[in-house]
Homo-oligomer: A and B are copies of this chain.
């Protein structure tokens, strides 16, 4: 086991990154909230493939949780996460405290219109504002050449692409493909909450998305394909579907109701007992 070098202030982070930069070496940032699984570690691998050094950040950002959400209960095990990151080829962990990120007097927020509206933005009203602000800060603090985010949270990825372009942050955003179990279930720390019975039902979510994407790609109407997918998810045993929508791939605009002929994505969130699962597929 290798101890992963860890810094807790932006000053120390910048000193490390500046030294690498001065040597002509590229730096990748992989922002995380901990509770790491194979999905996160695959992002570290993508970072390694695109830069000489990979920095992972670990910060459970309070401003992207609503008061009703599980900020206090969010799993925290830095030692375990650091071990996994080191094994995956990460060079440096940046684990700032809340007072480093939001010192007294903090008053600034970054908001992204349109792409952050609807879907997760509707379900969690303050979520993307918190995400946009903290990601802007992580990108200006670390000043990486590339930053890697998972396609699992596809709407979040598009919000981050948008703010990076709009605020002229000199970083390339790379989306990492969703890691899946053999039966297609997207890896998520929330999968641990599923009972054996729920775990058996869960892969129906991705099956329905794939069928929907395939149908729309072949020329089926968007509205009928969305409805069929929702029906299949509920028939498989999910308790409810928060949303299941075909949207344009970049700006996430609503498409349909008829057939479409442009890059698109189908995105969903559905509930299985108390667990809320997200997934999406390209069209």
- Interface residues of chain A, those whose CB is within 8 Å of chain B, are 10, 14, 105-115, 132, 136-137, 140-141, 143, 162-163, 166-170, 251
List chain B residues, Cβ under 8 A from A141: 168
Task: Flag if A166 contacts B106 (CB, 8 Å).
Answer: yes
Contact of A140 among B108, B114, B167 (CB under 8 A): B167
List chain B residues, Cβ under 8 A from A170: 14, 140, 143
5 A–B contacts, CB within 8 A, in A order: A106-B166, A107-B112, A108-B112, A108-B132, A137-B166
Task: Flag if B168 contacts A10 (CB, 8 Å).
Answer: yes
Whether A108 touches B111, Cβ cut-off 8 Å, given contacts A140-B170, A167-B140, is yes
Would you give the shortest CB distance from A276 to chain B, in whole angstroms?
Answer: 26
How long is the Cα–Cα vector from A167 to B136 in the complex, in angstroms? Answer: 7
How long is the Cα–Cα vector from A163 to B140 in the complex, in angstroms? Answer: 12
List chain B residues, Cβ under 8 A from A166: 106-108, 137
Contact of A109 among B113, B140, B169 (CB under 8 A): B113
- The list of the 7 closest CB pairs from A to B, nearest first, reads A108-B166, A107-B113, A140-B168, A108-B163, A141-B168, A107-B114, A108-B112
Whether A168 touches B137, Cβ cut-off 8 Å, given contacts A105-B251, A251-B105, is yes
How long is the Cα–Cα vector from A251 to B112 in the complex, in angstroms? Answer: 26
Would you give the shortest CB distance from A81 to chain B, in whole angstroms?
Answer: 23
Task: Flag if B110 contacts A108 (CB, 8 Å).
Answer: yes
How long is the Cα–Cα vector from A107 to B158 in the complex, in angstroms? Answer: 12
Whether A162 touches B111, Cβ cut-off 8 Å, given contacts A14-B170, A167-B136, A167-B137, is no
Interface centre among A106, A112, A132, A140 (most CB of B within 10 A): A140
Would you give the shortest CB distance from A3 to chain B, in whole angstroms?
Answer: 27
List chain B residues, Cβ under 8 A from A10: 168
